[in-house]
Amino acid sequence: MKKFLELGEFAICVFFTIVIEFTTILFRFVFHLQATRDTKSFIAPLTFGIRIHHGYLGIVLWLFSYFVKSASWKNINFLKCAGISLFFSDLIHHFVVLFYVEGSPGFDIFY
């Protein structure tokens, strides 16, 4: 039976999760950008007012990696790792970083 993630894949996923989260922190706290506030005018009409978190994209990529059969093994692992990294970065950002810094996870479903 194949392991869910090999040790090397796990390390890469952790690395990219940290990179994505630090990028998110940079935009939020250094550049003072907030997705709910700063993207509302042009994204909300496209999503019917539903807020799209990068964790949602992560779930889609993660699941998609299990259904892709024609791509090479490395492409499938890239999709899986990208999905896992996006998903866990979003969880960490909302339920650890924002909860600790602002006292609220700020996990808005709608704009």
Residue 54 parent element (H or E): helix 54-67
State both tokens at 53. 């978190």
Instruction: Examine the pLDDT at 102 and tell me if it is beyond 60.
Output: yes
Closest CA to 87 of 57, 51, 45: 57
* pLDDT at site 30: 96
20: its two tokens: 């994505």
| Residues with Cβ within 8 Å of residue 53, at least 6 apart in sequence | 90, 94, 107
pLDDT of residue 1: 46
More confident residue, 67 or 3: 67
- Side-chain-side CA neighbours of 19 within 13 Å: the count stands at 10
Q: Tell whether the model's pLDDT for residue 61 goes beyond 90.
A: yes
Kindly report the pTM of this predicted structure.
Answer: 0.84
